Amino acid sequence: MKSLTQPTTDEYAPFYSDYIERAQKTNVLSRLTEQINEINSALGALTDQQALIKDAPKEWSIKEIVGHINDAERVFSYRLLRISRNDQTPLSGFEQNDYVTAAQFDTHPIKDLVAEFEHLRRANILAIYNMSDEAVLRQGTASGATISARALIYILVGHVENHLASLHEKYLPLIK
């Protein structure tokens, strides 16, 4: 890929607007790598007990947030692969709360969850950097809506930006 310009509003469903907007405030390609470092820095030194903190009783724990980030990284990157390869098969959505419940992330070491994000993201960075400009512009269907490969790259960044903001604003201040 030679360059990456911002997706237009016809390349993604309105429910992804927040993620796209968050990503547009950054250099998306640089941010893909920077987010690895930020998650490592913010969460890498937490104990497993600290990572069980929730900001409210019915909210996810820090471990569950990181596990969810990893699930979403997989789902969005799978969509990115399929759409960039010009696969026109409609791709289904996923129920994030069901995934978090089924995975039982609170039983996983936080260090493993953080390392998993790094490995997933580094694989995605390689895939993204090796995409042709044509592949990045391809469109398909996911969750019942049109989406482009380019928008999915922005969504990868914006989704993590959203959760990093929540972690910094709500969760990490609770850790003594």
Residue range 159-168, pLDDT digits in tens: 999 999 999 9
Distances in Å between the Cα of 80 and the Cα atoms of 16, 103, 138 are 15, 23, 10
Is pLDDT of 1 > 70? no
User: CB atoms < 10 A from the CB of 73, how many?
Assistant: 20
Entry pTM: 0.96
Q: Which residue in 83, 72, 88 sits closest to 35, CA to CA? A: 72
Q: What is the pLDDT of residue 98?
A: 97
Identify the CATH homologous superfamily for domain 9-174: dinb family like domain (1.20.120.450)
> What would the two tokens of residue 12 be?
């993604």
Residue 171's pLDDT band (boundaries 50, 70, 90)?
very high
Task: Give the angle subtended at the CA of 79 by the CAs of 75 and 85, to the nearest 5°.
Answer: 150
Could you give the C-alpha distances from 135 to 77, 85, 112, 126, 153, in angstroms and in order? 14, 7, 32, 14, 12
Whether the per-residue pLDDT at 2 is higher than 90: the answer is: no
Percent of the chain with pLDDT over 70: 99
Mean pLDDT of all residues in the chain?
A: 96
Q: What b/e string do you get for 98-121 counting C-beta neighbours within 10 Å, with b at 16 or more?
A: ebbeebebbebebbebbebbeebb
Q: What is the mean pLDDT of residues 68-91?
A: 98
DSSP bridge pairs for 54: 61
pLDDT, one tens digit per residue, over 40-78 is 999 999 999 999 999 999 999 999 999 999 999 999 999
Strands 139-142 and 145-148: antiparallel
